[in-house]
Structures are given as C-alpha cells and as structure tokens.
C-alpha cells in the first residue's frame, strides 16, 4: 500500500512538473516565472540569437547553463520577460519558428 501511494505521488508530481512548461517552437518552451513575469527556455541557437537581437531591450533577466545529453554538450538559455510583453514575444516566436 505504501509503495502504491509513493508511486502515485511520484506520477502526480511529474505530471505537475510537465505542465509548467509548454513547447512553443523547436527546442523552445514557455514557462511561468512568478506572478508578474514569464520566461522562454531554449536550446535552439537560431531562436536564442533572434531573442538576443530583437528583444534584448525588454529582457529582464538572462541565464544560461551548459547541459549534456547523448548527442553531446549544448547551451540551455532562459530569457525572462514581464507579463506585459507576453503577446509581443510569444506571437513573434510562434509565427516565425513553427
């Protein structure tokens, strides 16, 4: 019984974690970041360069981390924006990088 309960908790927790990110383009996710901001997480170099060039003036915070998978090392970058910039950023990414 305890094992079943533990398994159920693990499954429900992983489901909650999966809901916090929404895929919006190739290797690019939308995630909430508090009540007044959101973030774009990407490992796509093309999208990262576009955000750095077009939206750098409205980025409130930028973080990056080197990750490794079976294909090798790659950079995962997070760009934080205010909620007021949501439509501008998301519509542009969805339309240009389907």
pLDDT in tens, 20-52: 889 999 999 999 888 889 999 999 999 999 999
Query: pLDDT tens digits for 45-82?
Result: 999 999 999 999 999 999 999 999 999 999 999 999 99
CA 16 to chain centroid, in Å, comes to 15
Q: What is the pLDDT of residue 95?
A: 87
Q: What is the 3 state secondary structure string of the chain?
A: CHHHHHHHHHHHHHHHHHHCEEEEECCEEEEECCCCEEEEEECCHHHHHHHHHHCCCCCCEEEEEEEEECCEEEEEEEEEEEHHHHHHHHHHHHHHCC
User: 82: which 2 tokens?
Assistant: 């205010």
pTM of the model: 0.76
The CA-atom distances, in angstroms, between 37 and each of 33, 40, 62 are 5, 10, 13
Better-scored residue on pLDDT, 33 or 92: 92
- Domain extents in the chain: 21-96
* CATH for the stretch 21-96: 3.10.28
């Amino acid at each position: 019984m305890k094992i079943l309960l533990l398994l159920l908790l693990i499954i429900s927790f992983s489901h909650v974690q999966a809901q916090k990110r929404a895929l919006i383009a190739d290797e690019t996710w939308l995630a909430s970041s508090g009540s007044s901001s959101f973030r774009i997480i990407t490992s796509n170099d093309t999208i990262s360069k576009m955000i750095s060039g077009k939206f750098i003036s409205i980025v409130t915070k930028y973080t990056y981390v080197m990750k490794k998978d079976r294909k090798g090392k790659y950079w995962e970058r997070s760009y934080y924006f205010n909620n007021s910039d949501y439509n501008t950023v998301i519509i542009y990414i969805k339309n240009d990088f389907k």
